[in-house]
Chain A
Amino acid sequence: MAKLENPEVSPRLAKNLRRNILERCIEFGLLCSGIFAIFITLAIIYVLVSEAIPFFQHVSLYDFLTDTVWTPNYSIKHYGIMALVSGTLTTTFIALLVAVPLGTITAIYLSEFATHKVRETIKPVLELLVGVPTVVFGYFALMLVTPLLQKIYPDLTTFNMLGPGIVMGIMIVPYIASVAEDAMRAVPMAMREGAYAMGATRFQTAIKVITPAAISGIIAAYILAISRAVGETMIVAIAAGQQPNFTFNPVESAATITAYIVSVALGDLEHGGIGYQSIFAAGLTLLLMTLMFNIIGHAVRKKFAERY
């Protein structure tokens, strides 16, 4: 092939300098915001770890994990995180018991049964529920739900895990409903038509075809719900009592990790004292728990990854 003497690029094919610069700027902007998010996360982990290290110089990791009493403010101090973990797990479990069925049914209804008009009415109402401050939910649990439960079960104490657990579940319903509904609506219409063409009813189509097809998105909704429940603070701080108590019995009062953190952080603590450092050990535990749930959730999700 003959090489051109002077390889001039025709002006119509020449690189567009302005467009290139603009593209680079946009790319840089996106990169910056990505790095910023990672930086914040790392900073949080750094603070948690660096404050937790001196704590673990006082309290052995073994005691931290096996002791079942948490009394940092008493004269005989115990730092058994399980007393808080049990509260977190119990309230989370109750919340999921309420939110998973309600949220899933709501999602199925909205995606497969509701007419366009009904859906457009219900969705904003659900989103409104997300906007209610959790303090309000906390008092709702304390002043309304617990007294109601006491009518059925008179021995129930004023502060217990059942009431706030249920209210937390109600609070989480919209999260599950909205994420799961998006996943179900993303299932191609061809899948629905295939089921209907086989003589399936609406209900059979929704349960036997659409739900399995959207299962990975539905599980993502559950992961979000778990993270939300584990991290929820105000409802349990207000209505579950703030006494760390190693129990999984929902009618007893107990403190969750978050409830402990907020109660201690609100009191006047000597900066650098062991009580202060214990917040960070508790916070780190919370972070690891959430992380663990997320990893399990993603593994389950991957197993059921949808393909259509």
Chain B
Amino acid sequence: MVDKKRKHPKEIIKAESNALNFSYADGTQALKNINLPVYENKITALIGPSGCGKSTFLRCFNRMHDLYPGNKYDGEIILHPDNTNILDKRVDPIEVRMRISMVFQKPNPFPKSIYENVAYGLRVRGEKNKRVLDDKVEEALKGASLWDEVKKRLHDLAFNLSGGQQQRLCIARALATDPEIMLFDEPTSALDPIATMNIEELMAGLKEKLSILIVTHNMQQAARISDYTAYMYLGELVEHDKTNKVFTNPRKKETEDYITGKFG
């Protein structure tokens, strides 16, 4: 940890994976010895061809793989400042998910009103005070730049929103509980260019408050929004560095080939 800090003097590590291996129940080893830091108040982008393990890696951070029996983690993901390995059997995945939230590829609002969608995480945490809920919902919707569009119909069903609005609702939902890290799995792949731009702008603002790890299939997107970029291939981490470095002067030939479109 110490030498990593020296490498990026001003950066604080929020979480890091150490020698992380992961296998699915059917034996597919999807991650091989991944060592990757996630810096505080930075956006780290994961890029690489489809099937290289980006989603698998992301979903380790909130123990999503626990939902399916037979999946196997090996190695660690240390969350700072606790210095705790969140993959440890003694760690409660629910506690982890309370601090590390996630936005999925396809917007997946709940079959509830806009208000209840955003309030969901707070209710799960036992919040009952109407005033607190109202304030938090408003704050989260503002944080997701959705407030002005929905403030007059907070009690409408969330499914009535457009795809882009639904995705921002999912961001608001994830934001409402003040997470420390937000995970995004190709959050704009189902959206049109305008909705995509909205969400990219949103993320640039969000990193003031938290750390972001985002999977994207779109290299321009990674270049536009991220501070750090990690290139993965066949379950391995090929290269990780500051985004402008990876895109202008990659160390590895494979990275260069992928970025210049010679492959992938």
Contacts and interface: CB of A to CB of B under 8 A. Distances in A.
Interface stretch (B108-116, B143-151, B201-209): B108-116
Given A193-B104, A196-B97, A306 B124 contact: no
Nearest to B109: A194
B106 interface: yes
- Most A C-beta atoms less than 10 A away, residue of B95, B121, B124: B124
A200 B102 CA distance: 13
Interface residues of B, number: 28
A198 interface: yes
Interface string B44-85: 000000000000000000101001010000000000000000
B229 interface: no
B215 to A, nearest CB: 14
B247 interface: no
B243 to A, nearest CB: 26
A200 B124 CA distance: 6
B67 A193 contact: yes
A96 B170 CA distance: 38
A192 interface: yes
10 closest residue pairs by CB, A with B: A194-B108, A190-B108, A197-B102, A199-B97, A199-B98, A198-B121, A213-B111, A307-B159, A212-B111, A200-B124
Interface string B214-231: 000000000000000000
Contacts of B94: 199-201
B101 A193 contact: no
Contacts of B112: 212
A308 interface: yes
A209 interface: yes
A306 B108 contact: no
Interface in A172-207: 188, 190-201, 204
Contacts of A209: 110-111
Q: Majority SS of interface residues in chain A?
A: helix
30 contacts: A115-B69, A188-B108, A191-B108, A193-B64, A194-B109, A194-B110, A194-B170, A196-B97, A197-B64, A197-B97, A197-B102, A197-B104, A198-B101, A198-B177, A199-B94, A199-B95, A199-B97, A199-B121, A201-B124, A208-B110, A209-B110, A212-B111, A212-B112, A213-B110, A215-B111, A307-B111, A307-B157, A308-B108, A308-B111, A308-B159
Contacts of A188: 108
Contacts of B125: 199
A190 B110 contact: no
